[in-house]
Amino acid sequence: MPLDHYITLGRSGLRVSPLCLGTMTFGEDWGWGSSVTDSETILDAYLARGGNFIDTANAYTKGHSEKILGDHLGRHRSKRDRVVLATKFLSNMYRGDPNGGGAHRKAIVQQCEQSLRRLQTDYIDLYWMHAFDATTPIEETMRALDDLVRDGKVRYLGFSDTPAWKCAQAQTIASFRGWAPLVALQIEYSLLERTVEGELVPMARELGLGITPWSPLKSGVLTGKYKRADHGKHEAGRGVWALSALNDRTYDLLEALERIAEAHRTTVSRVAIAWVQGRPGVTSTILGARTMAQLEDNLAALEVTLTEKDLTELEALTKPKLNFPHDFIANGAAFVHGGTTINGRSAPVWPMSPATDEERH
């Protein structure tokens, strides 16, 4: 699938590229990341390929990420209107100010206004709540966001890194009250982070939220640069984010990814991204390229088509242990089906069910 074969996001008509350009690496203000010049080069290369979906946040590189995007796109209306520009609120940019961050009305409105100024635009295409704010009633959050949509400052809404039950509550309240709904869910999702398949993924598919995974390469672990033979000698730029994932199970996965990549004449990172992008409910996977080489490699994941054999092997190596009642429900067909086949799924007769008249006689 080429980058310019667009997909509608969730239960909306918004068209986005199958790979989204994440810009957390735009700016060197955190001690790592891309220079302004390199960031602009990466952005232009992505757009030249037909990519149209760009993701940032108010706090990324202390606001510099939004500023870079604003300088390069926002001040040029013809460029700005052709992209789907997404940013996030929640992070407090002002130490000592209790209202500087969060998902309450005061914070949402002022963070939106600040992002609009940095992005040099008068509207945000997709506005994400960056994470769950347990200190604010969800009704207050959704009403404030609905006001931003009605005011024309925001086009669509999404939640990131929020429990499934809270997303469901927010979507239900919005539906009953005629407020702007959520259309997307941003979550960590990779071969090394699959627990989202227990609650978040089914919730998103049921309620019309397009899934946009972040960290499909698990902070660089799934690029293939880490080897079992070098365990304990690694120096990861992302520290514990990467090193904590390096264990025997991960090395088994990496070795399988290397075999699959070699069979497809491609790279480990492309296989890992292709797996995520092919998961049910996923609309657009977020790439975190810091260099042009990383961008080129990651975009080529769209050229990889994994076989059933590949998928079976990766499934066996990464199947997650999900929270109760996932396994209980999965095994519950025997209680319900009565030994029949429903929607293509067969189940044996529950041995504790009452006998039929024929069996009694």
Residues with catalytic annotation? 60
Distances 269 to 16, 93, 156, 231, 277 between C-alpha atoms, Å: 22, 34, 31, 19, 12
**What's the distance, CA 249 to chain centroid?**
23
Burial tier of 357 (Cβ tally within 10 Å: 0-12, 13-18, 19+): exposed
> CA-CA distance, 68 to 119, in Å (whole number)?
8
Distances 32 to 29, 77, 92, 279, 290 between C-alpha atoms, Å: 7, 30, 21, 31, 9
The one-letter code for the residue type at 282 is V
> CA-CA distance, 174 to 193, in Å (whole number)?
30
> CA-CA distance, 298 to 304, in Å (whole number)?
11
Using CA atoms of 222, 8, 59, 173 in order, give the dihedral in degrees to the nearest 10.
-120
Q: Do the beta carbons of residue 358 and residue 348 sit within 8 Å?
A: no
